[in-house]
Structures are given as C-alpha cells and as structure tokens.
Structure 1
Amino acid sequence: MSSFDTLRLDGVTRRFGGKDALSGLSLEIHKGEFIALLGPSGCGKSTALNCLAGLLPLSAGSIWQDDRRLDTLPPERRGFGMVFQSYALFPHLSVRKNIAFGLQMRHLPRAEVRRRTDEAIRLVRLDEHATKLPGQLSGGQQQRVAIARAVVLEPSLVLMDEPLSNLDAKLRLEMRTEIRRLHQSLGLTTVYVTHDQEEALSMADRLVVLRDGRVQQVGTPEELHTRPANRHVADFMGYRNLLPMRVTSVTREHVGVEGPGMTLTGTGVGDLFPGDEVVAAIRPEDLVVGEGGVPVTVEVVEYQGRELAVEARTDQGIMLHLRAAERPAPGDKVSVVADPARVLVFPGEPS
C-alpha cells in the first residue's frame, strides 16, 4: 500500500459547458480518515470523486498526496481503489476471479495473488460463495465482491460512489456496518459519496456538505447535526421545518422571532438584528405537543414504530412536521412548542 499522511485538494474546480459543477473545493484528508461527501443530486459530490479518481480532468486547482502531485497522473497511476454504485463485476468470472483480476493485471506472483485474494474473500465473509458467478449472488453479496476487489489492491485511498443505493433498507443497514468494520480493521482512507444523511452520519469521521458545486460546511457528524452552518445544511441534516420569520428581539442567549400567527424563541446563527428577515429551523422531533404553544390542526399521522410522525397546519396555513408519543386524530386541534436551544435562527439569505 503506497502510504501517505495527507491528501490535499486545492481549489479543485470542474466546469461543464461554462458552468461550474464543482467550484474551488479545498480539503485536507488525513491517513485513515473516513470522509463522506454529502448533498442532493447535482451538488457536485460525484464530480469531486471522479476528479479525485482521475476520471475527469480538472478545470482549475490541484490534488496532492503529501508532496506528490496527482491531478496530472492517469487514473491507473494514482493507486486508488474504486467501488461503483453499479458494482461493475465481470458476469462470466467467479467471485474469486473477479477479486483476483486486478492483481493478475499487475503481474504479481501467483502465490501472492492467491494469498491476497483468500484474505479479501475472508474479510468480506464470502468464503462459501467463492466459486459462484455474480448472477448467483444477492445484491449485498455482489457489493461485498466489489469492495473486496477494491481493497485487495491495498490502495492508499478507496473511493466509493453511492455503493449502497441499489440495496433494500435492511441490506443497506447491514452493509453500512460492514463497510465501517472494514474501514476500521484495515485502516483504509476512504472517500464516500452519498445523498443519505443518516448513512453519512453513521459512518463518517468528517462530512463535507456540498450545494451547487460549493462546500457549505465541513465537520464531524456531531457538529453538522447540532450546529449546521446555514439553512441549506440544516435542511439537508433533517431540519424539516424551515419557517420564514422576522427578528423581534436579540439577547446574548436567544433571538425572538415572529411569523404569521406564531412567535418563537431560538438560538441565532451569525449576526442578527431586530427587523432582519430570517429562517427558523426546527427538527420534527424537537417540535412537540404542549401547552401554550402554536395552535395547529392535525392533518396526517404516520406510525413509525416507537413514535408517530405528524403533519399539522397552523391557522395561517403553514405546514409543520412534528413527532408525538400518543396518536392524535386528523382534525384534532393541539398546540406545539419547541425548546429555544433546539430552534436555530439563520439569516434569510437568498435561495
């Protein structure tokens, strides 16, 4: 494994037809880190991965592995492993031959190929399936073959492009744990692309949130979950209630805001002043039924196991998403409250 201490992206930019798909991405990735690139479709995350892999040339910027410049090298000389959404397995080759293929292409001694292939098969727990063809495997097993094929090369960096999106919910959960286990046991440096915030939060050491090709925030899962940098990150991290409001008061601890038919107290993000147009962001689980809150009428109730997801509307027609422990009925009138520490107030920046 060609080791390194730091992989550095300096102002990495990629344009298509005069439009920036990725603009000025600067990031340091340390050896052994698991980095998730996160954002909605079209935000630039797969473009960033393809630039790293060498599948797309840069329009501007550079990529460095310690003091070695990478962006001028072809993909095969970068020494990275890649796991695609589509698995991209050879259908006519067995599991063992799929995994060994890259090693054979490098003309390694036969004994070395066998040893490393055996180890990779054992690592992804496919011992009893080694002689099967990909068509005889489940989706999760095929994905494990694709991961084994990437790690058997002992790459300095593994790139994963939405590798779990073709799997059902149960398999996705199992494979999340599997990828994290492999990452930790092998000490792999991993860059992982996903649009699923729960997946990213559960697996990554640090997250990079992109929007329209630009970095919105870089931080640990805890930082992004509790302190999103702006309303767009908040939206992506599960703050489903984004309410346009106006600042009425500002103290050291809290910001008072009001909107049509409701007043709230929250925690300000950035410099805010009375009269400012703002967006109050609240997670559904932080908006609860309680006395003296905002009056709403329940419209939709969904059972979600330990709790109920409720959609309710204020008298002014604003939809709110909340959680309830006991089942309200559609048409019920209740009031909802939120802890000021859980209400984030962002400047009302243009969308």
Structure 2
Amino acid sequence: MTSEFRELRLDGVGRRFSGKDALADLDLTIRAGEFIALLGPSGCGKSTALNCLAGLLPLTSGSIWQDEKRIDVLPPEKRGFGMVFQNYALFPHMSVRRNVAFGLQMRKLSKAEVARRTEEAIRLVQLEEHAAKLPGQLSGGQQQRVAIARAVVLEPSLVLMDEPLSNLDAKLRLEMRTEIRRLHQSLGLTTVYVTHDQEEALSLADRLVVLRAGRVQQVGTPEELHATPANWHVADFMGFRNMIEMTVARVSGDEVVLEGEGLRLVGTAMGSISTGATVVAAVRPEDVRVVEGEGDNRIPATVDVVEYQGRELAVEARTGTGSGRALHLRTDQRLAPEDRVSLAVEPQRLLVYPKEAGDPAPTELAEVTG
C-alpha cells in the first residue's frame, strides 16, 4: 500500500468551544509513512485534533493540506481517511467478513474486488478462522483487529486511531501494540494515533506530539522526549515522578546548584535559568541510586514503602528521618520500610526547568499514566 501524498500539513489549526480554545495554533507536518502519536492527559486537545483531521469537527482557525490540496474544506467521506475508534463501532448483526467488506460495498466495487480485498485484510489481522463469526463471539482484541481491518481495507491515505487499546486488558494491549506496529510497517501506512499512555506512545510512534491545555508542548522522537523533555510539564507527563520545586543558588554554564526542602543538589539547566529563581528539578526513579557513604548530590532518606516488581523494587523513601520530601526510586537492592539509606543522583540526570509565573506547583507524585 502506498500513500497518496508526500506530506500532510496542519497550519495554525485551532478549535474553540463556547469561546474557549480546545486546540490552538497547531502546526505539524506529517510525512508519508510516518507514525505520529498525539499524547497528553485528558482534555489536552489530542482527540479534538484528530477529529479536526478526520473532518468530524470544523476548524475555528487554520487549515489542513495534503501536499498542495486544502482538505479541511472537504467533508469526511471525501478525505479518504480510515478511522479506528475506541469502542470498535462494529455492526453486531454482521459477520467479521461482512463488517470488513461493508465500506468497499458502499464504494460499489465489483464483487470480485470486494472479496479479494476483504480476504486480504482479514489475513493481515490474522482472523481467517473467525471470518464467519459475529462480533459478539470475539474477544476484545479480536474485535479491535476487525476494526483495524475495516479501516485498512479501504487502502486509506491516512489511518486515524483514537485510543484504540484503552478498553483492553494489559496483556491484550501489549499484543495489539505489536500488531498495530506490524501492520503500519508492512502496509507502509501513515498513521496518527491518539493516546494518554506515554509507554504506548513511546513504543509505537516515530514522533510524538505532546499537548497540554490545547497547545503543543513538544514534538520529537521517543528518544528525545524520554531523555530531554522540553519543559517540566512534559517531564511530569513522561514519567519523571520526582518533581521538586527548588531555588537556584548558583549558575555556571549548564550546571545549576539548587537549594530547598533541606536539600542541596547540582543539576543541569534545561532552559534560561538565573540565580534566585524558583525552578523545578526533575529526575526519573531509575536515575535515583542507593549508595554508600557521603558525597556530592547525596540525599539521606528513610524507606517508607517497598513494592516488589520482579527483578527490582519500586521504593518510596522520604528525605531526612522520614518526615520530608517523598522520592521514588527503582533498585535491585533488598530494602525494607524504616531502612536508612543514602541516595545519589548524577547532575546530568537531574534536569532543571524554569518555572513560569502562573504555573501550578508540580505534584509530589506525578501520575504515570497507563
């Protein structure tokens, strides 16, 4: 399957509801064959962006282009996109085969062509032995495969997926992630995928678009967003569970000395930072280590909660004698509640972000979605 365009371009796309921006100034260029994930918490504008692309919502501002052709003025059926919904949206009275064939029949293709493409799509999602069954006789994962087959059988120039795995259990989600990536690669699809699950987005996408309050916070590869979030909001969402508000004591190039909450730490500046400013220091649990003795960037702490997770422990410790700041770490050392430990963070792993006026305080424990 080949895409019918070289690139899809969103220029200043915006959508307002009751005078409030649900999406504002979205600029994004999607290359043919690319897998793009729109990522962010509930209400960030990701589904609004997808529905604008699909033509289910008219734009309040901006435009959408396929190469040199403007498409936001076209109705959904004229855009040639396939869509996979969260709730599958299958016809319950039709077999798998008839569900997949339905869109082709509506296009009035020949019976032979409908049969050929239907069987090929069913084979791609590995449902040949279930082709005669009704949706109600299938598992959730199998129903989602039918929905994907129904979308790709139309050979769309773009496939839009709106949180397609959110109704599945953990094991099926993992299996379907692999299936979606396999289909994307084997068919050369161009895919835009909406999710609130950062792990899902990291594993599937070529590039991620992180949204917050209707505005783009960062666009980049999974590696870029995982290692170097653009601001503390992105870091918070991408799994940096330790977010500490501190004061800048000294700045020397990219090196920043921080003080606050009884701690003195050295980190790496991730923006314009000046002495005396209030900042947010972010570090992942896997970058907090249990060490022996004293030294730079050492934090005395008391173990509070220990969770067994197979090869390692997820630990919540509190600074000082147990009444201070909660810090989260992962370790293969055997720890127990009330253990006194010394924690260390490498300066290059402690990312220091400016805190703008009006920003909310970072949560002590940032939720890892998914």
Is 1:41 paired with 2:42?
A: yes
CA distance in 2: counterparts of 1:233 and 1:137, whole angstroms: 38
Distance between the aligned counterparts of 1:254 and 1:309, measured in 2? 29
Distance 1:92 1:2 in 2: 33
Residue type at the aligned position of 1:244: E
Q: How many residues align?
A: 351
Q: Deviations over 1:112-139 (max 9, x none)?
A: 0000001000000000000000000010
1:296 aligned residue: 301
**Which residue in the other structure is 1:318 paired with?**
325
For residues 330 and 2 of structure 1, the distance between their equivalents in structure 2, rounded to whole angstroms, comes to: 56
Q: 1:322-343 CA distances to partner (integer Å, 9 max, x unpaired)?
A: 1121221111111211111111
Q: Which moved more, 1:93-102 or 1:300-309?
A: 300-309
Deviations, residues 80-119 of structure 1 (Å, cap 9, x unaligned): 0000000000000000000000000000000000000010
Give the equivalent residue in structure 1 for 2:365.
none
Where in structure 1 are there 5+ consecutive unaligned residues? none
For 2:95, the aligned partner's letter is: S
**Map of 1:237 onto structure 2:** 238
> How much does 1:34 deviate?
0.2
State yes or no: 1:218 paired with 2:219. yes
Match 1:335 to one of 328, 334, 342: 342
In the alignment, structure 2 segments of 5+ residues that lack a partner are 361-370
What are the equivalent positions in structure 2 for 1:89-108 lying under 5 Å apart? 89-108=90-109
Task: State the distance in 2 between where 1:231 and 1:191 align.
Answer: 25
Q: Aligned with 2:115: secondary structure?
A: helix
Structure 1 CA distance, aligned partners of 2:224 and 2:33?
20
Map of 2:28 onto structure 1: 27
**Matches for 1:100-249 after TM superposition, within 5 Å:** 100-249=101-250
Cα distance in 2 for residues equivalent to 1:13 and 1:273: 34
Shift of 1:211: 0.2
The CA distance in 2 between the partners of 1:52 and 1:158, in whole Å, is: 10
Give the letter aligned to residue 165 of structure 1: S
Question: Is 2:3–2:190's contact at 8 Å kept on the other side of the alignment?
Answer: no
Residue 304 of structure 1 aligns with an amino acid whose one-letter code is: Q
Q: Quick check: 1:301–1:327 contact (8 Å CA) kept in 2?
A: no
1:294 and 1:326 map into 2 onto residues whose CA distance is: 17
Aligned to 1:78: 79
Q: Distance in 1 between matches of 2:220 and 2:117?
A: 35
Residue 12 (structure 1) shift: 0.6
Q: Distance in 1 between matches of 2:76 and 2:205?
A: 25
- SS of equivalent to 1:300: strand
Structure 2 SS opposite 1:103: helix
Distance apart, 1:157 and its partner CA? 0.2
Q: Tell me by how many angstroms 1:317 deviates.
A: 2.0
Q: Distance in 2 between matches of 1:74 and 1:348?
A: 43
The secondary structure found in structure 1 opposite 2:194 is: strand
RMSD, aligned α-carbons? 1.0
2-side partners of 1:105 and 1:260: how far apart? 65
Match of 1:10 in 2: 11
Conservation of the 8 A alpha-carbon contact between 1:6 and 1:65: yes
Q: Which residue matches 2:353?
A: 346
TM (norm. structure 1) is 0.98
2:363 counterpart residue number = none
Q: Find runs of 4+ consecutive structure 1 residues off by over 2 angstroms.
A: none
Q: Deviations over 1:234-274 (max 9, x none)?
A: 01111110000111122234211111111111110111122
**What SS does the aligned partner of 1:216 have?**
strand
Provide, for residues 213-240 of structure 1, a one-character-per-residue CA deviation record: whole Å limited to 9, x for no partner. 0000000000101110000000111111
In 1, Cα distance between equivalents of 2:285 and 2:346: 12
- Deviation, 1:2, is 6.3
Q: Percent identical across equivalent pairs? A: 74
Q: Following superposition of structure 1 onto structure 2, how do residues 247-266 of structure 1 map, counting pairs within 5 Å?
A: 247-266=248-267
1:263 and 1:170 map into 2 onto residues whose CA distance is 43
Letter matched to residue 267 of structure 2:
G
